[in-house]
Copies of this chain bind each other. A is one copy, B any other.
Amino acid sequence: MAKQTAARKSGSRGGGTLQKIGALAEGVARAAHAGEAPSIEVPTRAKSNTTWDRKRGILRMGDATQTRELFNLNQAKGFMQTVLHAAGIKELLEADKTLSLRAMFYKGLHTIPGTKEKTFADQDESDAVLEDLEVTLGSLREELHVFAKKAGTMVGNITIEDSGDEIDCRRMGSGGYAIPSIVEPDVIRFRKCDAKFVLHVEKNTVWSRFNEDRFWQQHNCILTEGGGQPPRGVRRLLRRLNQELGLPVYCLLDCDPWGHYIYSVIKQGSISLAFESERLAIPEARFLGLRAVDYQRCDLSDDVQIALNDKDIARAKQIAAYPWFKDKPAWRREIDQLLRNGFKMEVESLITKDISYVTETYVPERLKAKDWLD
């Protein structure tokens, strides 16, 4: 505990956020003392307030805000919930502890005195208020000491320090280092890194194939996976590896709308959490495969085909219309080809060529030829 506390305190995560919560509370108190209606301005988290910053290559939140007033029947509960969670986070920061989203829901949950009403109807309501607090305070959820379920693993040519422990990711066996939910610089520090790039794969079963074949050792890289759609901890870690160490990030994902969407979120951020793109998106991330053309190019058998259903087709068209895909002829061709093929393909289907085709042939050839989508 002592060590971890020391590691945290040396960072500035808690301090700045505490000040911001203090300022929020003071604003409310000042209004109350002045006989005015206390209110909080919460930036609007909606598609209507999301803009595509083409120059920076990320989604950004606009300037629209919503007011939450205490003395407005429609806004009073939201106001109360926001202040309640702000107080809870202050307590977390002062105790230098972190809590899960689920635990934060329980922490804020109680019956409002004099009524039969609960402070939160369910965890969804609590989660939404925490997202409001993120944008209101301009602090990432991680800076509020709140985390979600973790997922994702890492191995490779890098040593990191996690809460004061030195972890050599070259010596993590078959299991790997479990990427935590919070990877801010006061928790995770980068030490010796020899890796030249990061290979990020979608599934941990594929990751195991690459790790078993010691791909990261042979190709001098870092190997990560995010259990499907990577959680924020994984995205933030990839972003830090890219920004702070200058490592290119290559993504190996399925050839289907879900794979394209995962890539899009890693690269540009997500519409629902555009605020976080500033610190989570990796505009330089590249899509290494699978590509729709691989069916011919790799001479795959029809065993790899999984027919697109109506939902897939609708989703593919939706993704093709994203401004960040629409402007890119190569991506338009990719999605067109997927739709013309009429089928999706999984990375694991490359096993039909050979057990280690994906690690020994597919990825090395793509990397050598710099053959990826951007």
Known: A147-B205, A172-B162. Is A303-B100 also a contact (CB below 8 A)?
A: no
**Interfacial chain B residues near A205, Cβ < 8 Å:** 100-103, 147-150
* Nearest CB in chain B: distance from A304 CB, A: 7
Tell me if A's interface is mostly helix, strand, loop or mixed.
Answer: mixed
**Cβ of B303 and Cβ of A110 under 8 Å apart?**
yes
CA distance A98 to B175 in the complex (A): 13
Q: List 28 A-B contacts (CB under 8 A).
A: A1-B213, A97-B213, A99-B209, A99-B355, A103-B205, A103-B348, A103-B351, A103-B355, A106-B346, A106-B349, A106-B351, A106-B352, A107-B355, A109-B303, A110-B301, A111-B301, A147-B208, A149-B205, A150-B153, A150-B175, A150-B205, A150-B208, A161-B173, A172-B178, A173-B180, A173-B188, A175-B179, A181-B208
Cβ-neighbour of A163 out of B174, B217, B301 (below 8 A): B174
Q: Is A4 an interface residue (CB 8 A)?
A: yes
Copies of this chain in the oligomer: 2
**Interfacial chain B residues near A166, Cβ < 8 Å:** 171
A contact residues, range? 35 or more
Interface residues in A70-115 by Cβ distance below 8 A to B read: 91-92, 95, 97-103, 106-107, 109-111
**Interfacial chain B residues near A182, Cβ < 8 Å:** 174
CA distance A168 to B203 in the complex (A): 26
Known: A102-B205, A103-B355, A153-B178. 14 other contacts (CB 8 A): A1-B217, A4-B174, A97-B355, A101-B205, A106-B348, A118-B303, A147-B208, A149-B204, A150-B208, A162-B173, A163-B174, A167-B173, A172-B178, A175-B180
Q: Is A187 an interface residue (CB 8 A)?
A: yes
Q: Is A49 an interface residue (CB 8 A)?
A: no
CA distance A46 to B164 in the complex (A): 50
**Interfacial chain B residues near A149, Cβ < 8 Å:** 203-205
Cβ-neighbour of A303 out of B111, B180, B348, B356 (below 8 A): B111
**Cβ of B204 and Cβ of A187 under 8 Å apart?**
no
